[in-house]
Amino acid sequence: MASELEPEVPAIDQSLLECSAEETAGKWLQSTDLTREVYQHLAHYVPKIYCRGPNPFPQREDMLAQLVLLGPMEWYICGEDPAFGFPKLEQANKPSHLCGRVFKVGEPTYSCRDCAVDPTCVLCMECFLGSIHRDHRYRMTTSGGGGFCDCGDTEAWKEGPYCEKHKLNTSEIEEEEDPLIHLPEDVITRTYNIFAIMFHYAVEILTWEKESELPADLEMVEKTDTYYCMLFNDEVHTYEQVIYTLQKAVNCTQKEAIGFATTVDRDGRRSVRYGDFAYCEQAKSVIVRNTSRQTKPLKVQVMHSSIVAHQNFGLKLLSWLGSIIGYSDGLRRILCQVGLQEGPDGENSSLVDRLMLNDSKLWKGARSVYHQLFMSSLLMDLKYKKLFAVRFAKNYERLQSDYVTDDHDREFSVADLSVQIFTVPSLARMLITEENLLTIIIKTFMDHLRHRDAQGRFQFERYTTSHAFKFKRVQTLILDLKYVLISKPTEWSDDLRQKFLEGFDAFLELLKCMQGMDPVTRQVGQHIEMEPEWEAAFTLQVKLTHVISMMQDWCALDEKVLIEAYKKCLAVLMQCHGGFTDGEQPVTLSICGHSVETIRYCVSQEKVSIHLPISRLLAGLHVLLSKSEVAYKFPELLPLSELSPPMLIEHPLRCLVLCAQVHAGMWRRNGFSLVNQIYYYHNVKCRREMFDKDIIMLQTGVSMMDPNHFLMIMLSRFELYQIFSTPDYGKRLSSEITHKDVVQQNNTLIEEMLYLIIMLVGERFSPGVGQVNATDEIKREIIHQLSIKPMAHSELVKSLPEDENKETGMESVIEAVAHFKKPGLTGRGMYELKPECAKEFNLYFYHFSRAEQSKAEEAQRKLKRQNREDTALPPPVLPPFCPLFASLVNILQSDVMLYIIRTILHWAVEHNGYAWSESMLQRVLHLIGMALQEEKQHLENVMEEHVVTFTFAQKISKPGEAPNNSPSILSMLETLQNAPYLDVHKDMIRWILKTFNAIKKMRESSSASSVAETEGTITEESSRDKDKAERKRKAEIARLRREKVMAQMSEMQRNFIDENKDLFQQTVAEEASNSAVLDNSPMVSDTTLTALGPAQTQVPKQRQFVTCILCQEEQEVKVESKAMVLAAFVQRSTVLSKNRNKVIQDPEKYDPLFMHPDLSCGTHTGSCGHVMHAHCWQS
């Protein structure tokens, strides 16, 4: 085989050189049956030019093809020498204002972040440098190949669509002008004839499936017995597998096999053997046999040399057509007409349809060539781009199915052209309206995910590798959906509304299959044996995040669409909740005289899912009703009366309780899969359509129901109802011999529940929830990120959510909230928060992770200490809620909330009797602070006639009701202010009392105030004598506490010694023997110590213990103990050398410890510092 593959250039047939293009063209002009004449010419000459031996000779083949095959066609089109004809056509042509440069792999592309309609709109380097965008914010990337420059496309740019080069080509003439008017009639006729024949020939031969015979028109008279064993590319087998197989199959060297494999990967196919049929068939059988053991075998065909010759020329012909149409827009228009003209077989019979539908059957090289032709023809002609888009949409389902079953990468599939069509706003709208594109894409996507559970939800748990591979390919349909939605409509027609809502219905069906998927049940007893599949579901969620956001953006643009979408989403949610109470017992909850009926449900015992896209979409639409004021304009059109708040909050609340229980360590036995799900639930990539929307859905529910009822349901779901509804339950819990973990879990759950209440009241920076805009929202995100520490630009961008255009909005607000500190020695510039923005810091910001919250708290307290301020971190002043959410604040002054606050403060006051935590108290203080801030805001903004109904300050100054008659919240706060064990919270309590006084004065001074004076009065202790007395009292309390602690420690020591007498006696004996030497030396005071000389003071040496890193045995370092060693690496060093050129003559006799004055060569010893026994090291 090796000798067979050496280049042997066959002699050129003399008849080929004698062939005249002009004569052939003249003959064709005279012919009455041009198709037959041309086909005969091709049948005769193509096999003589191409595939004359085992190896191709591209230069010679191209030269002969131009002379014998392409030359006559060019003469025929021009009617004269093409060297003169084509320049004339070029001169007469009106140059296109579109650039259309097709990018090669790795070529730089530029996108303007200010002016591009979407991130897929790009410019080539030449157009970018000649455009206004070079002075804007831009993004530079490298092309993966296949796209083209959008310069000149007015739909791709908000401004500056033309560069300097293409601006010159624009004129007053309408764009719709027919380019054929610039061509002579006879040229049009001839071009149409030759294009029709040649395009048909290329399509027919490239899609030809027989391996041994040609179409009848092209069959040769004399058929030789010469075949090729053709190896095709796939994305399954590795280079190594192919190389090894080829070496065995065709007996070639490794170098030749590498050459074959490289060509197959690049071009999609390569002949690996040339000869008679049996010879090639034998190689095929070896290749198939060697590659079919584990996966599907490599695709190999034994093809007749004439078929390969015609296919090679077919590719050459398509490239030639692409270059010819570059001379004139008229020629391009003719090729588009030929390509899209319906054939005799009706629908899908046009040449373009045939190529697209056979895409997955073609090899990589053929695909690339015809894709490039489509881009330089159909996508560059505005009229035919629309017609092509329609054909693409009609065939969309079939094309995507072919792609999913194919194994080639996306860039080699015709389906990848969707980005060139769907991102054009006018085409996307047309396809939605006329072809119902949204519904087609979503239905196609769902058709490929048929794996469902009994409830019809997507199921990924039993996915094999092949399923995972297929799922990865199916995800690209979501990208197409994103392309269609990325450009929002400015005007809505009735047709667009109707078709969009049909697409929205299909989208709800998709989300319905995700609602409640991958449910989890708490593992009790033993650890879960096998981690369940969770990544597929989250991958789907991540991919759909931007699509869900864009669907909401579309709905927000039209009031009718928003109302209909809201109704549809609510109806689907009610279907999902159908039989919501089935099998679940109803239960009545009662606290503080309030009762509510709910269901008995424990998150820690039942199934619960983190995937609730329908609930979250409804939450998003509800906010849009508020933001667009549709809820106030057309309340009669909305089903707000049908809403069941308990139903709305149920599943999001379960999800948040699940997160709290995971944090409390109750789900440890469920493994890492659940931990990972919780992580991504809060992660910046997913949280906008997951965690954030759950908070909004709870806010929606609370705003429409009695806050007392909500709090009781929440206590029940957090499994804390018994603790708060039973008097002294906390004391019993701590006094009984309870498992330490249970107490800790309950404490964590109470902390998490309080944190959730803080979030529900405090998170009002989403436009529509609070009276804010998108700028306020991003400002707040940045303020809290910079509260943790100063950040570099890249670090800050990563912590902010991106929209569908990969923008965070940071640049527009960063200067208002931060200073930029230029890079110093570290080489990184940092943004630092402006001091005036620190007052907006919220310790319980909902996007903080626990580590970030801890760091931010530490950083802010440190800053306050530096500024000599008290270290309280009070809640910031918040913007008012929108009217639809205004009633949310009442949760703070509800009876159940006050009861919860009073209970936890009571636990803190009697701190030894109850199981409680400082974090719990800190959250309660924060909630009290939020309520006081809210009341203060209400009083400051109250109108003349209005009475402020928010009376939190009055309620916290009243004592508890009988029979307990517990002290008021206010008096408990005063008690806690002086508690020595709560020193860290003293400043916060002082701030609360100060704010309470300010509110009391405001109410007293307000003439409209109808609130009765509170019984208790608080005066700030400011005099010097009182401060001195207070300090003395605190010091006495601290002394008594120290004595008490010391007594407890002594008691514990005595008990320990009694329990471990033997061990204690052994230790005392050892200490006595070790200190015997020291007892003989005279005791000396610090002032008489002598360091050197005959009178040197004997100082006792510290005993040193080390652990052997190998055997882990601990041993004291003594002379008589086992030898301990360190591993060290000794090497030559020239760090301090003054003469590095010096050569040591005899290294064997060189003493490394003797240093020459020039320090030419020193010794460096390095060690890791780990100690080990000498015998352990040796063994």
**What is the distance between the alpha carbons of residues 692 and 244, in angstroms, rounded to a whole number?**
54
Higher confidence at residue 780 or residue 635? 780
Residues linked to residue 304 through DSSP beta bridges, in sequence order: 227
Element at 1107 (helix H, strand E): strand 1105-1107
Indicate whether 697 pLDDT > 60. Answer: yes
- The pLDDT of residue 1049 is 67
Q: What is the pLDDT of residues 40-80, one digit of tens each?
A: 999 999 998 998 888 888 888 899 999 999 999 999 999 89
917: pLDDT strictly greater than 70: yes
How crowded is residue 504: how many other Cβ atoms within 10 Å of its Cβ? 22
Residue 1156 pLDDT > 50, yes or no? yes
What's the CA gap between 451 and 461, in Å, rounded? 10
pLDDT for 182 equals: 82
pLDDT surpasses 90 at 378: yes
Cis peptide bond upstream of 10, omega within 30 = no
pLDDT at 8: 54
pTM for the structure as a whole = 0.81
What pLDDT, on a 0 to 100 scale, did the predictor assign at position 1038?
A: 61
**What is the rounded CA–CA span in Å between residue 242 and residue 221?**
37
pLDDT at residue number 4:
42
Q: pLDDT higher for 249 or 461?
A: 249
Confidence of residue 779 (pLDDT cuts 50, 70, 90): very high
Window from 484-488, 508-512, 884-888, 981-985 with minimum mean pLDDT: 981-985
The per-residue pLDDT for range 990-1038, each reduced to its tens digit, is 999 999 999 988 888 764 444 333 333 333 333 344 555 555 566 666 6
Spell out a b/e string for 860-890, using b for 16 or more CB atoms within 10 Å of the CB, else e: bbebbeeeeeebbbbbbebebbbebbeebbb
Q: Which two tokens stand for residue 318?
A: 């398509």
> Counting Cβ atoms within 10 Å, is residue 1125 exposed (0-12), middle (13-18) or buried (19+)?
middle
Sorted by sequence, the CB contacts under 8 Å of residue 993 that are 6+ apart come out as 970, 973, 974, 977, 1018, 1020
Q: What is the pLDDT of residue 387?
A: 94
**What is the residue type of 1103?**
R
Q: How confident is the model at residue 400 (pLDDT cuts 50, 70, 90)?
A: very high
pLDDT tens for residues 206-224?
Answer: 999 988 888 988 887 777 8
Residues in the chain: 1179
pLDDT single digits (tens) 1052-1097: 666 666 656 555 555 544 444 444 434 443 444 445 677 777 777 7
Q: Residue 172 pLDDT > 50, yes or no?
A: no
**CB of 70 closer than 8 Å to CB of 324:** no
Question: Residue 1048: its pLDDT value, please?
Answer: 66
C-alpha–C-alpha distance, residues 28 and 42, integer Å:
13
pLDDT category of residue 678 using cuts at 50, 70 and 90: very high
HSE-up of 1101 (CA within 13 Å, CB side)?
8
Taking the C-alpha atoms of residue 857 and residue 842, their distance in angstroms, rounded to an integer, is 9
**169-183, 837-851, 1154-1168 — which one is most confidently predicted on average?**
837-851
pLDDT per residue as tens digits for the range 939-965: 888 765 566 788 898 899 888 764 556
Residue 543 pLDDT class (50, 70, 90 cuts): very high
Any residues with CB less than 8 A from the CB of 539 and at least 6 apart, and which? 471, 475
**497-511, 841-855, 1135-1149: range with lowest mean pLDDT:** 1135-1149
Report pLDDT digits (tens) over 441-456.
Answer: 999 999 988 888 888 8
